[in-house]
Structures are given as structure tokens and as C-alpha cells.
Structure 1
Amino acid sequence: MIFGKINYINLLPLHLYLKSSKLPSYIKASIEYKKNVPAKLNKMLNNKKIDSAIISSIESTKKKYKNLNIGICANKKVLSVLVEKNSVAQNDKESATSNALAKILNLNGKVLIGDKALKAYTNDKNKYIDMCEIWYKNTNLPFMFARFSSVKNHNKAKKILKNFIKKNINANQRQKIPKYILEYFSNTRKIAQKDIKNYLKYIYYKIGKKERKALKIYTNKILYK
């Protein structure tokens, strides 16, 4: 079984869960080997180079995929999916969902996602528009940025991840990020540890009715945009 891994801070809790689980060592090794940005994982899963991954929510709607109610979600704010104010329109090559979201929201400017976006936001939040914030103002709904999808071994993935959601229902029940891991991501991403911990309070992983409704609205808007 081959997992793909989005190498962003927003999935740290999931990566720690998998690292601490009783998975065979070859699966854990494959997760590290197959880490990449969302747009690349979309292609890898579509081409069956990996069995499962959290991929862009727009990609996950394809009929070929089986999906779990696990993803990257945020409500009201996300801090890492941005459009730069007073800038020339430009897609983020790492994204699929967020580039389309900017168009739906009629936001013209440079799209930034992931850890580089979080770094930019924490350096000067006044320069950026948080797309999740605008989406919420328009719909009164959260947004699902990515979803766990499979093309193979879906039942195995479901079994592996069945306890993850139970441990991550809300911010107060999230597993603690070890200090050495916080230090590593702080040093490599050039983001203060306090900002990483604050950011993870905005991220949650359980996909429910509101998140699915938001995805349906989002995909319908893409069809008519």
C-alpha cells in the first residue's frame, strides 16, 4: 500500500498519527518517499502511482476515486490560502482547488497556498486576502480544501485512519506536537513556533454535512464560471 503525503504544516497531526501507528515500516517509508505538493499528488493518484492521498478537493470529485470523510477543512479563516492584494493575477502551481476558488470569489491577484502563504501572512497579514474568510462571508459555510481519496486499497486506508478523526474532532482534543518537530518546521519554514500552533487551531479534518454542502456549491460554481 502506497500513501502520498502533502508536505505542509496543516497535515502535521495526520502525519504524527501515522508515524505513531502500527503500520509496517515499508508503508511509513513510502509516505516519506511520496511526499509532494497537492497538484503533484493529484497527478500521481490519477496515474495510479500511489494508492491513496489527501488531494485537492476539486480533484477528489472525480468518479474514479473513493473518498473518506477526512480532509483539510477550515471555518471562517485559514491563514494559508491567500490572494495578494494589488498584485498581478497568477495561479499557484502547487494548487488546484485554491486557484479555482480565487476565480469563483472574483479575487484578482497572486494566489499563495501552503507554508509559504502562512509565512507571508504572519509577516504582514494586511497585504493578503484570506480566501476562506471571503468564502464564509459569501456562504456562511466552512471550506474543504482537500480530501482523502483512493484508487486502490481503500478499505485498508479506512481501517488505518478510523481512529484519526476521533482524536482530532476539535482543537482541544488534538494530539500535542512534539517540541523537536515544532522546532524543525519552525526552522525549515521560517515561521515562529507560536504561529504554527496558532495556525493549527484553524485547521480541522472531519468532513461533515456542511463541508460536503460547501464542496457541492463550490463545484457547481466552477461549472458555471
Structure 2
Amino acid sequence: MRFGKIDYLNLAPFDVFIKSYPTTSGFKKFLQLHKSYPSRLNKDFLFKRIDAGFISSIAGYHSWRKNKITSSGIIAKGSVWSVIVKPTAQSEDYQSATSNALCKVLGLKGEVLIGDRALSYRYHNGKHIDMGKIWYEKKHLPFIFGRFCYNTHGDFYKNLSEKFNQKKIKIPYYILNEYSQKTSIPKKYILEYLEHIYYKIESKERLGLERFYRELLFKKIKKPSRF
């Protein structure tokens, strides 16, 4: 089984969870070798080079239509801190198709920045607009930035998702310290950031995602595909 993972701080709790989850050594080795940014994983998933992963929501549309989805995602209800627009020249972030599309849906102008780079920019007091905050103000619904989707081995991945959703995860100090050294973001700030992220998809989260897909249709924003 081939699982690909977004290599951002927003999945730090999943990293901790999967280390102790009973999977094969081959599964965990593949996971460590296939960590990347969202748009890269989108391609790997659509071309079936990976079986499953937290896929950017816009690329997860096809899985949603086929019901090859789990009840886990990367979600914010309001400010998210790591998906922002900088007040500079209009520019997309090559790392995230969902965030680029969300910027268009919200009618925002500027440079899209996501992930740990966005979080670092915010930490250093860079001027920005938080897209999670604007979405919630307009729609009064959470936003799913990425969804745990699968191509094959559905029963295994749905069970993994359920176990992850049930688990209350505390990040060990040594792992938190590793994240801090890797990103140059203080440990306290990382923990504050993770309070803005949650992972269990329920009715309001599903409705928020459906509204996003509807907006993509109205605005004729193309979704990633194999062709």
C-alpha cells in the first residue's frame, strides 16, 4: 500500500499517530519517501502512483464523486494561519491548486502563499489576508483544505481514518523540537497554530466542501485531472 503525505506542519498530529499505528514496515517506509507539497501529491494520486493520501480538496473532487473518501481532512473553522494572500502582485502558489482556486472564489487579489512558508511569514508579522477567515465570514462554514482520499484498499484506509479521528494526539516534545528546527518556527507558535486545525469531517464540513465545489462550477475554475 502506497500512502503519500503532505509535508507540512498541519499534519503533525497525523505523523505522530501513524508512527504507532499497526502497519507494515513497507507502508511506513513508503510514507517517509513520499512526502511532498499538495499539488505534487495531486498528480501522484491522479496518476495512481500512490493509493491514498491527504489530497488537496480540488483534486479530491473525483474521489468525492466516486465515494472513495474518508471522514478525515485538513480543516479550519475561521482563521487557518497557513493559507494566506500577501498584498503584492497577483501570483499563484505552485504548491497548492486548492488555495489558488479559493483565492479566485473569494475574489481576492495578491500573492497566494501556503503551508509552513505562509506560517513563517505570518510569524514575522508579514501583512496578509487569511483565506480561512474570509471564507468563514462569507459562508459561515468550515473549509476543508485537504481530504483523505483513496484509489484502492478502501476498507483499510477508512478504518485508519476512523482511528485517527478518535485519537486525541499530543505531540511529544522531541518531535515538536524537530519541527521547530526544521521550519525555524518556535514550538509555542506551532502549538498555537495547530489549535486552528482539526481533522474530523462531519455534516458542516461536508456542506462547506460542497459549497466550494459549487463555486468552482459557477466560476468555471478547472479541477486537476489526468488529461
Compute the TM-score of the two structures, normalised by the length of structure 1: 0.94
CA deviations 1:145-168 (Å, max 9, x no partner) are: 01011111111112233211011x
CA distance in structure 2 between the aligned counterparts of 1:88 and 1:59, rounded to whole angstroms: 26
Question: Are the aligned partners of 2:71 and 2:161 in contact in 1 as well (CA < 8 Å)?
Answer: no
Q: Secondary structure at the match of 1:78?
A: coil
Question: Are the aligned partners of 2:56 and 2:147 in contact in 1 as well (CA < 8 Å)?
Answer: yes
State how many pairs are aligned: 217
What letter corresponds to residue 153 of structure 2 in structure 1? N
Q: 1:184 aligns with which of 153, 175, 178?
A: 178
Across the aligned residues of Structure 1 and Structure 2, the Cα RMSD in angstroms comes to 1.1
CA distance in structure 1 between the aligned counterparts of 2:118 and 2:67, rounded to whole angstroms: 29
Q: Secondary structure at the match of 1:58?
A: coil
What letter corresponds to residue 181 of structure 1 in structure 2? I
2:200 corresponds to 1:206: yes
Q: Which runs of 5+ in 1 are unaligned?
A: 168-173
CA distance in structure 1 between the aligned counterparts of 2:157 and 2:135, rounded to whole angstroms: 31
CA deviations 1:14-62 (Å, max 9, x no partner) are: 1111111111111011100111111011100100101001001111111
CA distance in structure 1 between the aligned counterparts of 2:5 and 2:169, rounded to whole angstroms: 19
Q: Which runs of 5+ in 2 are unaligned?
A: 220-227
Q: 1:221 aligns with which of 215, 219, 225?
A: 215
> 1:64, CA displacement in angstroms?
5.1
What letter corresponds to residue 6 of structure 1 in structure 2? I
What is the 5 A alignment of 1:58-77? 58-62=58-62, 63=65, 66-77=68-79
Compute the TM-score of the two structures, normalised by the length of structure 2: 0.93
> 1:65, CA displacement in angstroms?
6.3
What is the 5 A alignment of 1:151-190? 151-167=151-167, 174-190=168-184
2:115 corresponds to 1:114: yes
